[in-house]
């Protein structure tokens, strides 16, 4: 997810810096109930994207979880789907992947593989998956070329009729609205753990993240080929949404 020539992103953290931070945070992300408290409505978003995957793609056999962390979203999907699934877990962090595989194997008798690194650079056969999940990961993308390359690859990885579901930090197109939503998010963080926590979260967002608006991502989903797009939920600076590939 390197800079693609846009000077706005030169000061952002490298992939390796982001990887190192998450390598040391495996335990927190291994709790499906509290692992992402900094994300507003994280449990609801997880429920919505996994249920949407099942509802829109009823005959599932294989799922890819991009930026899987410790595997929470795949685990939620497995607990909601009554049949066996094969799971591919992708993340930058080796430690996260080991924990994710350990936890996911407790939830399924299907095959579980790990794919370490930037998923765009990994050789994965096209038309391989019924569902692709991406939770709290795409905001690390940088310029337009990064975003289009990522969405295009997901489209190619999906089988006809497959679906792509996202929950993530988002920006807003209007600066005044973005500022308003950012203040609301700051208030949420302060209520959660105080002013120091708000500052800590805002600092690593400034260093690492470059989110895009829901409207930008919906337009991009259609542009790379998805025929149907659904917005499931939005609250302040976070949203859950997805798209379905034609049969």
Half-sphere exposure (Cβ direction) of 131: Cα atoms closer than 13 Å: 31
The whole-number pLDDT of residue 8 equals 73
pLDDT confidence of residue 7: 63
Q: Beta partners for 11?
A: none
- β-bridge partners, 88: 64, 113
Cβ pair 167, 235 in contact under 8 A: no
Q: What is the pLDDT along the chain (247 residues), one digit of tens a residue?
A: 444 446 677 777 777 777 777 666 666 666 665 557 889 999 999 999 999 999 999 889 999 999 999 999 999 999 999 899 999 999 999 999 999 999 999 999 999 999 999 999 999 999 999 999 999 999 999 999 999 999 999 999 999 999 999 999 999 999 999 999 999 999 999 999 999 999 999 998 999 899 999 999 999 999 999 999 999 999 999 999 999 999 8
Looking at residue 4, what is its pLDDT? 46
Q: What is the per-residue pLDDT for 3?
A: 41
Instruction: Burial-class residue 105 by CB neighbours within 10 Å (0-12, 13-18, 19+).
Output: middle
Q: In whole angstroms, what is the distance from residue 2 CA to residue 143 CA?
A: 9
pTM above 0.85, yes or no: yes
Burial of 230 (0-12, 13-18, 19+ CB in 10 A): middle
- Structural domains in the chain plus CATH codes: 7-171+210-244 (3.40.50.150)
**Buried/exposed code over 111-122 (b: 16+ C-beta within 10 A; e: otherwise):** ebebbbebbeee
Residue indicated by tokens 């989903």: 221
Q: How many residues does the chain have?
A: 247
Question: Do 46 and 135 form a contact (C-beta atoms < 8 A)?
Answer: yes
Cβ atoms of 46 and 78 closer than 8 Å: no
**Six-digit token string for 215:** 């409207």
């Amino acid at each position: 997810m390197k800079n693609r020539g846009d000077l706005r992103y030169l000061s952002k953290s490298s992939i390796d810096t982001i990887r190192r931070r998450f390598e040391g945070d495996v335990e927190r992300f291994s709790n499906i109930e509290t692992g992402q408290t900094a994300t507003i409505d994280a449990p609801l978003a997880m429920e919505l994207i996994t249920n949407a995957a099942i509802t829109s793609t009823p005959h599932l056999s294989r799922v890819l979880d991009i930026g899987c962390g410790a595997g929470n979203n795949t685990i939620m999907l497995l607990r909601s789907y009554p049949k066996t699934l094969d799971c591919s877990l992708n993340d930058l962090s080796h430690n996260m992947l080991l924990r994710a595989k350990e936890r996911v194997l407790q939830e399924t008798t299907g095959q579980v593989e790990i794919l370490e690194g930037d998923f765009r650079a990994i050789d994965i056969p096209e038309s391989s998956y019924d569902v692709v999940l991406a939770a709290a990961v795409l905001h690390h993308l940088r310029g337009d070329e990064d975003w289009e390359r990522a969405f295009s690859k997901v489209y190619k990885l999906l089988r006809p009729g497959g679906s792509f579901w996202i929950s993530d930090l988002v920006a807003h197109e209007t600066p005044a609205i973005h500022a308003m939503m950012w203040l609301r998010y700051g208030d949420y963080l302060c209520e959660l753990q105080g002013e120091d926590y708000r500052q800590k979260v805002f600092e690593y967002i400034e260093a690492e993240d470059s989110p895009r608006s829901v409207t930008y991502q919906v337009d991009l989903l259609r542009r790379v080929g998805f025929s149907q797009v659904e917005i499931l939920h939005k609250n302040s600076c976070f949203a859950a949404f997805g798209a379905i590939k034609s049969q």
